[in-house]
Amino acid sequence: MMTFRRWLIAVGVGMSLALPIGRAEAQELNPQPGSSPARIPDNAVYRAPKVELAFNRLYDEPELVEAMRRLVAAHPDLLTMESIGKSVEGRDLWCVTIANPKTGDPKTKPAFYVDANVHGNEVQTSEACLYLIWYLTENYDRLPQIRQLVDERVFYVLPTVNPDGRAWWFNGPNTTNSSRSGKAPQDDDRDGRIDEDTYQDLDGDGQIRQMRRRSPVGRYRAASDDPRRMELAPPGEFGEYELLGFEGLDNDGDGQINEDLPGGYDMNRNYPSDWRPETVQRGAGPFPLCWPETRAVAEFIKNRPHIAGVQSFHNAGGMILRGPGHPDRAPQYPAEDERMIRGIGEEGVRLLPFYRNLVIEKDLYTVHGGFITWTYENLGIVSFTNELWSSNELLGTAPGQAKPNDDLFAADRLLHGATFKDWTPFRHPTLGDIEIGGFVKESQRIPPPFLLEQGSHRNAAFVIFHADQMPRPEWLKVEATPLGGEVYQIDASVRNTRRIPTITAQAARHKLNLPDRLSLMGDAATILDGGELVNPDAGLTLGADSTAALDQDDLASGVRPEPRVVRFARGVPGLGAIHARWIVQAPAGSELRLRFESQKGGVLNRSLVLP
């Protein structure tokens, strides 16, 4: 019998991975010498993979690392694995690099960064990263689109930024929402003690569920259509229950329960862009990048200027999110970038049914010091956060059309009692007779096993699409025109066949990247002049020494750039081109060499023999 995974992969290949690579282009894809055979067997995606991994389950932190090691061992030609740092509790932050060094130096190729599990309880996001690694490597020799993508790009995949939080979630009882934090001790209630009043699994079932108590002045009542569900009593009426929060005791005797949980900070509020202190942004930490995990991630990305795309996986709600995180930041987002990024997100919601394409500050809430706002605002990288999983997926419900008992109906009919435990009596030492019940931690924010793989595949498809839209420069025109007396006019054009420019408008505005460079060289040639051809039809050229071709540092220093190198501070536009022109003196038959260099667009080389 065909497994669910193989069926899903087959469907996904047919429906989800529609990269803009033409049939002829795919047929002409020629591997470098020494790479894997180019022949793709028919229906290869239905065949057994090289590494069998189940994606209808969750992996704890050691299992996740072991699965990564298995993939690296099976695909040593494409995968490497390194620790980029340590967590608060000393766990490694493992990153897998996907690259084919046989098709060029990985450091000169456009790169894509993916991370997940920033919040400890958002566990299925790590499986989405694991699936991405597995899918790209297993299908390298099966799908020409994947082969071309991996040959031309580099992927850095960090499946868990918060291994301490992941271990805490797996190894102990938790609520449906705990614990987001890392595990550096914090004094949440400011009583001089740290992490002293956390949840207790009172009934010993391995879960932290809600507590309720009958009360003549309660504000809640059991719903008439399903007594397991609590609802507010109508205005002007008493209910029959009071809700007392999640299972726990008053461990420090201050009259409160569960008010000082382990950790208590938010690593997605700790990045430098628009960072605010705890008095403004709860969970921000004492200063930006104060936690070893956020510091390691920031240094890793900053040290790799060829990263041109970022994806961070979180849960839940079914959202593709982009910045800004605060209304005051919106004017800093150039309109041309916003149109391009929004367009990529619009393609994403086609790949991800039940997801919405949203702006953080406008459609969700305010975020100061967020990760993807930092990668875009401070580094100029096109960045998204996907909030994995929408409960609408359970019953195929349209957004906004869910009914109050849908989650219980799904728990009964689809999941057969796996995610909800009924209310049961318990004698609490200080609260007296109570009842404990509700959803288990493996629910609400996390899809059931039969939907885990589908979510991973669809999110991988979005990453693949986004990565394919990173800059892909190619030579458009290179030609020499004799002017007489061994003098030639050399014209060269480079076009970008993808949506994302080699330098985003944000990066150009704030000089976040080095300019792209088109250079001309020749052993027997003298470069008399050169510059950007801003209007090829009219022949309008900006010389290398014109102020329009210089940046402020050049103007301040009085440096006149060499005419052989033409710089483009705004890069190659998405689906656009740049043009350069040189005047050269050289004998006929001389060979000239052209080179295009871009931090995020890669390197192109071309030679030209003068007529």
| CA-based torsion, 95, 100, 105, 106: positive or negative | negative
Q: Is the peptide bond between 316 and the residue preceding it cis, with omega within 30 degrees of 0?
A: yes
The set of catalytic residues is: 387
Q: The tokens of 115 are what? A: 């991370």
Which residue, among 562, 571, 564, 567, has the nearest Cα to 593 in the 3D structure?
564
Q: Using N-to-C axis directions, what is the helix angle for 124-138 and 449-468, rounded to 10°? A: 60
Residues facing residue 322 across a β-bridge: 359
Q: How far apart are CA 25 and CA 9, in angstroms?
A: 23
Q: Let me know if 255 is exposed, middle or buried by CB neighbors in 10 A (0-12, 13-18, 19+).
A: exposed
Per-position DSSP letters for 37-75, written without gaps between them:
-----TTGGGSPPSS----SS---HHHHHHHHHHHHHH-
Strand, helix or coil at 350? helix
Q: How far apart are CA 360 and CA 2, in angstroms?
A: 41
Per-position DSSP letters for 401-461, written without gaps between them:
---TTHHHHHHHHTSTTSSEEEEEEEEETTTEEEEEEEE-TTSSSS--HHHHHHHHHHHHH
Residue identified by tokens 């149109």 is 339
Strand, helix or coil at 278? coil
Q: How many residues does this entry show for the chain? A: 611
**Structural element, H or E, at residue 138:** helix 124-138
User: Do 158 and 111 touch, CB atoms closer than 8 A?
Assistant: no
Judging by DSSP bridges, how do beta strands 111-116 and 154-158 pair with one another? parallel
User: Do 201 and 95 touch, CB atoms closer than 8 A?
Assistant: no
Q: How far apart are CA 412 and CA 486, in angstroms?
A: 85
